[in-house]
Chains A and B, each alone.
Chain A
């Protein structure tokens, strides 16, 4: 049988792969790299972030701050968009769940797609003056999944596997439409996101774990804050062990999220894992 792919092509492919790894530093879904990337980014902006987060204390509630609200949005918004991505903040639950009144923890995404807007991954659990490891891991994983350099989120040059949506790929194993897309070469893995405000990782949980971990991705704009429809809050308890404001830096958080999906999918239906392997191979 004639060899359609030549040795030279194989060598070219290996060279291209090596070049990609070298240039992009990570391997697309490298959770370890993602946490390092966020840690480095927030460290470089630590001083301005600290100022922003603590500039406006509540007049009577100790330890509470409103870094971004309708009274300072015109002065501070641009700075917040630049300096706060990667940090964990609080949002009023009412911007997601109208009937509730509590603070939800959220991580501001580094996603470059939403230039000029604050993209927030919100964990829909009331914040009670401590961030459990699990909450930080989930938020870190969501933040890390869209960190610049992790799989070129939203890249426009092709529709291949978006590495930050590896979690979505796990969830899509149970989706017939996705499977049919892949079989004809459309490598989309998030078409099941019927709601544009849904979270990639949150949707995975919904698909695989029956909504055990409620998560949502929202976009907060200058206009929504100036109209009093949204605000960013912060509390002194959101500090890391070194005393600096907490960031989405939990090591291997992205890997943990992926593994949760993998394990759940495998437990639920071993055939689902085989399905993804067929899609990939």
Chain B
């Protein structure tokens, strides 16, 4: 009598693509680590050590760098003047910019760029009217 649960048709591990499940089991059972795995282990271990040593030069530089990025992150969220200050300096055609990762992230930078372009035009017009205003570097190092 055929045991239906053991037939390939009912095997929950079976795939309808080219995949040798028995070879995969054998690969998993191999006790020797691959060179790739050993190399990765060494690299990650080295960085973890660096991070655990707060006096390390790399650590200090990295933490400083992260703080800088975090500050910009916050400003991108809350201070639209930051973005607009960049826009004011932009002279490029927005239609030039296309990104392949839009679909992944569900926000279209091309659309954003067009919006930015319209805003830029409006701001340029305003800027001309108020030509007496000077630009200077602010407390945060951004131009206003």
Contact = CB atoms under 8 A, between A and B. Distances in A.
Interface bracket on B: 35 or more
Contacts of B27: 101-103, 126, 128
Instruction: State the main secondary structure of chain B at its contact with A.
Output: helix
B106 A185 contact: no
A85 interface: no
A109 B136 CA distance: 44
Interface string B53-96: 00000110110011011101111111110010111011110000
B17 to A, nearest CB: 5
Contacts of A128: 27-31, 33-34, 37
A213 B40 contact: yes
Given A101-B19, A134-B41, A259-B51, A5 B139 contact: yes
Contacts of A29: 66, 69-70, 73
Contacts of B73: 27-29, 151, 160-161, 163
Nearest to A95: B17
Contacts of B89: 184-185
A70 B101 CA distance: 30
A161 B37 CA distance: 32
Nearest to B110: A186
Contacts of A153: 105
Nearest to A168: B101
Interface string B1-31: 0000110001011111111110111011111
A176 interface: no
A281 B43 contact: no
A172 to B, nearest CB: 12
Interface string B96-136: 01011101111101001100100000000000000001111
Given A102-B23, A262-B58, A262-B65, 13 more contacts: A4-B135, A27-B73, A92-B15, A101-B27, A126-B28, A129-B29, A158-B83, A187-B86, A190-B105, A191-B109, A255-B51, A259-B50, A259-B62
